[in-house]
Structure 1
Amino acid sequence: MGDMPQSVAVCCPACRREHQYAAPSYPCVCGTPVAPPLDRRGTPSAVTHRVWAEEWVTVQCASCGRKSQWPHPELGCPCGTVVRIPVAGTLSEPGAEGTSGAAPRHRPAFQPVTIRTARDAVTAAALYLRWLGYRDIRRADQRPPNGIGLAARGLLAQVDPTVRPASVRDVECLWLTAMTESSDCAYFSLAGYAPQARTRADALGVPLFVLDLTGTPQPVNSHADALDSSAG
C-alpha cells in the first residue's frame, strides 16, 4: 500500500486566506498510489509565470522504488492566485528507470486529470504517455505550429488545446518532425480533427487522440487504438 497523502495548512501569499491541502496521488505502474511529499516548513509561492522545469517533481514509489515525474502540487485560491505548494524533494532510495515503449501489462486503469486550462491538457497527455510506459517526458525542442510539443524516448507528441480542429498541415508537420528525429509520434487535440487531417493521419500512421474534459485521451483512428491497447 502507498502512503496516505499528507494534509498541510497553506496560506495564500496574496490574500492570506488559509486552506487545508492534500497532494493528489498518482498511480505508479506497479499499481501503488504515490503522492509528492509536501514540505510543511516551506513557504508557498504565487505562480506568476510558467517555467516548464518547475511544472514537475520527481517522486519515488515506496512500494517498487520506481521514480516518476508528476505535476508539481498547486492550489487555486478563490482570490485568483495559483499557489505552488513546497515539496520536500525526492525520496532517498534510488529507483529503477523504465525504458521507452509500453510498460508491463496488468497495470491499473488510467487516472485522468480534469481539463480546465491549456496546462491541464498538456498534463493529461503527459500522464497518459507515462501510463503507456514512456519515460523522460519533457518539452520538445522544436515548437510546433500550434499547441505544445512533448518528447519522450522514442516518441514525439503534440498537444493542441485550442478550440480549432487540427488541420492536415498540423498532422503533416508533426509527422515530418518525428521523421527527422527517427521517432514515433502521436497527436492530442481538444477540438478533434478536420476530415482531411484524419485521412492524412491514417495514411502516415499517426495516432490521433481527442482529449475529453475528464482528461482521458480517446483514440479516434486505428493507429491510436493500437497504441492504447499496448498498455493493456
Structure 2
Amino acid sequence: MPESVPVRCPACRREHVYTAPSYPCACGAPVAPSLDRSGAPAPVAHRVWDEDWITVRCGSCGRRDQWPRPELGCPCGTFLRIPLREAAPAAGSAPAESVPAAPAPPPRPAFQPVTIRTARDAVTAAALYLRWLGYEDIRRSDQRPPAGVGLAARGLLAQVDPAVRPASLRDVECLWLTAMTESAGCAYFSLAGYTDDARGRADALGIPLFVLDLTGTPQPVNEPAATLRSTGA
C-alpha cells in the first residue's frame, strides 16, 4: 500500500495528505521513496534539475534508479518538497548496481504516467517514458534546444516541448542536426503536436515523434515512434 504522510503548507498553514507515487523498476516490482513523517516540507524557491531527482533502491532486486523527487502543489501557489528518510541527489551519484542477466528478459511493466499540469511535469513524463523504454543515465542535455528542454540518455538526445504551438520544421531539424554531431539517435516530445512539414521531415529522417497528452502518456504519431515504443531502447 502506498505510504501517506500529513503535510502542512508553511505559507498558508493548509493541511494536506500526501501519498508517495510508486514507479516500476526494471525487474517489474514497484518502488517508492520512503517519506519522513517527522520532517517538515520545504518550499521550492528555485528549480535546479539535479535537485528534482532522487535515487531510490528497489526492495526486490536491489537496483538503484533515479526518480522524480516527491513534491506537492498547494492551492495557495506554493510547491512543497516532501521530506524523505533516504534520498540521494541524482547528479554525481553512483551508477545503478548491475543485476545479473536473466535467461530471458521479462516483459516491460505497464507505463505509469504522471499527470501534466506544468512544463516541469511534461519534462518528467518524457524522462520517465525514456527510462521505461530502457534508456539509462537520463539527464539534462548539455546543449540547450531552440524550444523546450533537452534531455540526454546513453545514445539518445530528446527534446521536450511544452509550448502551446505545434513543433515546427526548424525544431525537428535542429534536434536532428544536434544529434548527428553527437553520433546519437533522437526523439521529440511535444505537448501541442507538430506541423505537417515537421512530421514529413521527421518521417524522412526517421525521427520518433511523440505527443504528450495531459495524462502524461506519450503517444506515438509516426512510424519511428511506434517502432521505438514496441522495441524499446
Query: After superposition, what is the alpha-carbon deviation per residue over 1:142-197, rounded to whole angstroms, capped at 9, x for unaligned?
Result: 10000000001111000000011111110010001111111110000011111111
Residue 77 of structure 1: how far off its partner (Å) = 1.4
Q: Specify which of 24, 29, 32 is matched with residue 26 of structure 2.
A: 29
Q: Is the 8 A contact 1:28 1:34 kept in 2?
A: yes
Q: Distance in 2 between matches of 1:90 and 1:15?
A: 27
Number of residue pairs aligned between Structure 1 and Structure 2:
222
Is 1:12 the counterpart of 2:13? The answer is: no
Q: Structure 2 counterpart of 1:52, which letter? A: W
Q: Structure 2 counterpart of 1:17, which letter? A: R
Counterparts in 2 of 1:80 and 1:5: CA distance versus 1, 3 Å: same
Q: Specify which of 33, 37, 41 is matched with residue 40 of structure 1.
A: 37
Indicate the SS of the match to 1:146: coil
Q: Distance in 1 between matches of 2:108 and 2:62?
A: 16
Q: Distance in 2 between matches of 1:170 and 1:79?
A: 36
Is 1:57 the counterpart of 2:57? The answer is: no
Counterparts in 2 of 1:51 and 1:97: CA distance versus 1, 3 Å: farther
Query: After superposition, what is the alpha-carbon deviation per residue over 1:82-124, rounded to whole angstroms, capped at 9, x for unaligned?
Result: 1110122249xx95258xxxxx451211111111111111011
Residue 133 of structure 1: how far off its partner (Å) = 0.8
Runs of 4+ in 1 over 6 A off after TM superposition: none
- CA RMSD in angstroms comes to 1.8
Alignment partner, residue 88 of structure 1: 85
Q: Distance in 1 between matches of 2:229 and 2:159?
A: 16
Instruction: After TM superposition, list the pairs within 5 Å mapping 1:91-130 onto structure 2.
Output: 96-97=97-98, 104-130=105-131
Greater CA drift, 208-217 or 13-22: 13-22
Counterparts in 2 of 1:224 and 1:53: CA distance versus 1, 3 Å: same
Structure 2 unaligned residues grouped into runs of 5+: 89-94, 100-104
Identity among equivalent pairs (%): 75
Structure 1 unaligned residues grouped into runs of 5+: 99-103
Q: Is the 8 A contact 2:27 2:106 kept in 1?
A: no
Q: TM-score, normalised by structure 1?
A: 0.91
Residue 231 of structure 1: how far off its partner (Å) = 3.6
